[in-house]
Amino acid sequence: MVETARDHAARINEAVVEALQAHAYEVEGRHYKFIVRSSRLMMDAGEADAWHAISSVLARVYNG
């Protein structure tokens, strides 16, 4: 089976959403939590075989 550009973009998008969705992170004493509200793939208007993933993400930052 040949992986298309759309398939590849979808796999990357799924990995990014999984890394962010409902996970908490701590960086330099600040706590971060992300909620992915939506995600979709779009074909590039200029290139027939190029795809982009767009996600709407809510980020919360807690100090301390």
Q: What pLDDT, on a 0 to 100 scale, did the predictor assign at position 22?
A: 84
Position 64 pLDDT exceeds 70: no
Q: What pLDDT, on a 0 to 100 scale, did the predictor assign at position 4?
A: 93
Position 35 pLDDT exceeds 70: yes
Q: What pLDDT, on a 0 to 100 scale, did the predictor assign at position 63?
A: 80
Position 62 pLDDT exceeds 90: no
- Give the three-state DSSP class for 38: strand
pTM over 0.85: no
